[in-house]
Copies of this chain bind each other. A is one copy, B any other.
């Protein structure tokens, strides 16, 4: 029996849903089935503008998407404060769940979602697209090579972008009732994920937020930094901000090797992405140059990373739907660890920059 493509419903017409709609179209094992908005008109406009097939359904509510028996999976790009409600409902309605990051306001809320997901045996994945770029696997291969990279010693991650005035006044990411985690939940999520990824998802023992985060008048974080500590002496730092030029740095230093990239969240280009590595770097005889020098590695991809994410998610959903497989718990596990560290950073800020155990 030919396996049908996974049918996606989308809750809401967020900007990011445009990119993910395209990814669902590009991915060979998925298709756009429905979109729901609180405004039917908005949903119809969204479907029309984003290449939904004629057969796709448009709804004037999120519930209607969840009640549509044709919908296998939902992509949920709603404001973070609405995640727990809609993600739980989606799971209860047996919809597989591709959830925008940050997945929840805190681990407690996330656990409510994950319990519903587990109880319904649906697949859960957060929408951290760069995890699915083939570059990420190529970099992990380097980091896993004890000869080339050795033992991890330090990580620095930085994700900033210069939000425009309109964003700083109106975007959901600066509203305490919508995305209360602000820059920490948005850009910081990626920094934390990248650090955990570099450390093979071994949780740090403690976290210390650095001083002087920037808040808006409503108390939402616009910029912050933190340091993470492991028992074996590894250290990581990150900086996230809505208030500085777009920067997406990841630097990973080991005993034998160093890895750099400057576009870790969203590659400079869709179809190719590069990173730089160095191994056992040293100097020329009089210390007037490097020998060997770092080298650049390029990884090409037919599908953009967000389509590869949809493809992997749909593959897992298909395995459950058609082969009776169990959900892959790797993905909720990674989401939870990311959220745990995020919570610890937030708590450290709230406690006046005290060290917090993770």
Contact = CB atoms under 8 A, between A and B. Distances in A.
A253 B245 CA distance: 7
Closest 8 CB pairs of A and B: A246-B281, A153-B244, A244-B253, A247-B258, A268-B290, A245-B258, A19-B286, A270-B288
Contacts of A239: 154, 156, 235, 237, 253
Contacts of A227: 210-211, 225, 227, 237
A336 B268 CA distance: 41
Interface in A230-281: 233, 235, 237, 239, 241, 243-247, 249, 251, 253-258, 260, 262-263, 266-270, 276, 278-281
Tier of interface size on chain A: 35 or more
Nearest to A288: B270
Contacts of A22: 286
A249 B246 contact: no
How many copies of this chain does one complex carry? Answer: 2
29 contacts: A153-B223, A153-B241, A153-B244, A154-B158, A154-B160, A156-B156, A158-B253, A211-B227, A225-B227, A227-B237, A235-B239, A237-B237, A245-B257, A245-B281, A246-B258, A246-B282, A246-B283, A246-B290, A247-B251, A247-B253, A247-B278, A247-B281, A266-B283, A266-B288, A267-B289, A268-B289, A268-B294, A269-B289, A288-B306
A218 interface: no
B286 A244 contact: no
A105 to B, nearest CB: 24
A279 B229 CA distance: 33
Interface of A: 16, 18-19, 22, 150, 153-154, 156, 158, 160-162, 206, 208, 210-212, 214, 223, 225, 227, 229, 233, 235, 237, 239, 241, 243-247, 249, 251, 253-258, 260, 262-263, 266-270, 276, 278-283, 286-290, 293-294, 304, 306, 355
Interface of A is mostly: strand
A268 B291 CA distance: 8
Nearest to A21: B286
A279 B244 CA distance: 11
Contacts of A266: 283, 287-290
A168 to B, nearest CB: 12
